[in-house]
Structure 1
Amino acid sequence: MRVVKLSLRWRVAVAFGLVSLVLTGALATVTWNLASGYMLRQREDSAVVQATVNVRLVEASLRAGSGGLRDLLAGLTTDSDSTVLLRRGDGWLTSGRQVDPESLPGPFMDFADGGLPARQRVVVDGVLVIAVTMPVATDGSAYVELYPLPQLDRTFRFLSGVLIAGVATSVLLGVTLGSWVARRALRPLTELTDAASRVAGGDLGSRLPASADPDLAPLASSFNDTADALERRVRRDIRFAGDVSHELRSPLTTMANAAAVLERRRDEFGGTARQALDLLTGEVDRFQRMVVDLLEISRDESDDVHPTETLDLGELVSAVVAVRPAPTPGVDRDGSPVFVQGDRRRLDRIIVNLLDNADHHGGGPVRIGVTRHAGRARVEVDDAGPGVPAHLREQVFERFTRGLRAGRRGDDVGTGLGLALVAQHVARHGGTVDVQDRPGGGARFVVELPEAT
């Protein structure tokens, strides 16, 4: 069973909610006990006072010997749910809501029979009442009165509802406050994470804002110093690669020209010399392409701004295909134009490198498609090769990676920079590139770019 672990922000929010629950719950419990106890005592004291007054009226009626005792008892009932019982020698006289004296608790009735005053909260026929008994001094009778508590019960229900609602509201406010406090407290960590992610994604100019907080200022300063050092190091490496590549162009051109002269006179050489010449011309040609690619990479990384224009992606791909010397299938296009905003030179290079990759590693391209997919412009290049294993599908876009053919010489296996340039140019345009399995076998390289409206 997988355990879902809450984030730090939610753990803080839940902690605030639990603290609010404990505090407001304890306060609500104390409030309930004090309020309910006080109201019950007040009601009981009021019932005893009322019963005392009623007993005096009964005693006065008995001393006067009038025959209106039943009418007096009827007048003593406060409402339809109250009950007055008077035990005399010949039985019980009852007024108000009819209640069987036998339904009253035995210990309470023992006080009544013994002529002792008593009070007790009891439930009679489903109604909560305060039962009060007092002796009648005139003839030793027992006076019992039952005071219903429906109004007090409604008050208790309302009070409990208010307290429960207050506790729930307090918990909700505690969670909200905890979430807000956690978000405020973790904002520097969030900014640090975002800045680190941008740096990891290639935005070497990303920095943390200066902070006046004495606890956060060293963190921001340390991160910015590290980012500055990293940017200087990367810029220095880029300049070094560009300078080396540029300086190599002149001697490399001389070597290529010399190799071309020797190639034109290859029939004059013997078998071993001819093989050496073939190896030399192949390596010089690969070296030339590597230098060109290194210059392209260094220029692209050092160029923060590149010109853009709105381009018909289908027309651009068709133009690239039309000038290729190798046989290339036509472009499978959507019925309507697919426009993108980008740099024509870099987009041309993306298509050229994908087609070269298919020629060198995939047995040549078998399909080139320009479509729309989920609101984005999409270019698909299918080849007839063995495909790319799943564990190499990210590595093939790294520099100097030639997949399963890495380390081989003699064959035209490329420089290992073509797909790295594709990934770099696509990222410049805010797009993505990946490789998939082609239906029927082979690889499908997919480039997706934001569509221009």
Structure 2
Amino acid sequence: MRSLRGRLGVSIGITAVLSVFLTGIVAIGLLRRYSESNARSDLTKVARAIAAEDPDTVGTTVTLPLIRRVLAINGDQAAIVTRNGSVLGNAASIVVGINLQPLIAGREISGTARTDAGNVVYVGVPISLPRRPAVTGVVLTRPVAAARGLLGPLVFRIAIAALIALAVPIAVAAVLAKRLTRPVHDVSEAAARISKGDLSQRVPISEDEELATLGVAFNNMASALAESQRREREFLASVSHELRTPITAIRGYAEAIEDGAVKGGAGHAEAVGVIRSEADRLEHMVQDVMDLARVGSAEFHLDVSPVDLTETLREAVAAHQNEAADARLALTADLPEQLVVESDPHRVRQVVSNLVQNALRVTGAGGAIGVAARAEGSAAVIEV
């Protein structure tokens, strides 16, 4: 059985069956002990009643057979024991296997023993007969089977009750297994649909805390995947747009050269310069995309060291002054004398250069672009 629901239901069912089985064994054992104890109690009462009778009649050939006939109604037997351990009459087989020494010493005895008559429950009560000093006690026995006479029907009823009781936990196990595995099934189905591209799938949140945690975690994961996909699409759209400009310029000048529209050394030099510039721009874009792809992976490294942020930003601004002048833009830097931070100077300059290039593209002629930096607590803030 491979399904979690099936295994869970079977496990709970087996546990219930074992519990009922063990409970039944313990109950039967206790009932046996109780029935034997109850038999000893009954026999003790009878034996004490016999011992309390007229001492002149107990043990005579008239009274003892009468007592035995009365006891035989329930399968019980009686024997009169003398001080030397012998038994009056022909009842010696009744006490075979029973230790009579405590009774001869004047103490009551009780227990179970294996006699010639089989396994019996027995009791012995001392008797004091002034006219018959040889008599020391009376022993009564009852077959264990008779003592447990009501146990058979009772065990049958217990078994019927146990079978009925088993139906309840088995039904509960089936319902519980279905309830516990339903959220897992929902997550499995939703995951399958997400794997096919449907990132809108979500699972209902269970009322159970552990299963609710699973549902919330899955929904958060699905939302994160959807957001990641949205950003990826936006990024690809942005990259596609950015790539069109240099590609268009390169294609335009290449076609102009091919068609002979560009004439003279100066024209060719200008065309080659534009093509080279746009090719460099494409290279930078590709490098930026590769760097972005490495972010968060083991391939992306930061060489962190103490760096003067003021000097790094000045170099980045100086690198774009000619480009700003060609676009008739004012590019200025508002920087402190020194601003030392723990960072990767190459990555900082790369980020600032990208920001300045973006500003140069979107700022109209005659505009101004400013680069500023300031300390803020234990960090530094750069603004473009």
TM-score range normalised by the length of the shorter chain: 0.3 to 0.5
TM, length-normalised to structure 2: 0.43
TM, length-normalised to structure 1: 0.38
Larger Rg: 2
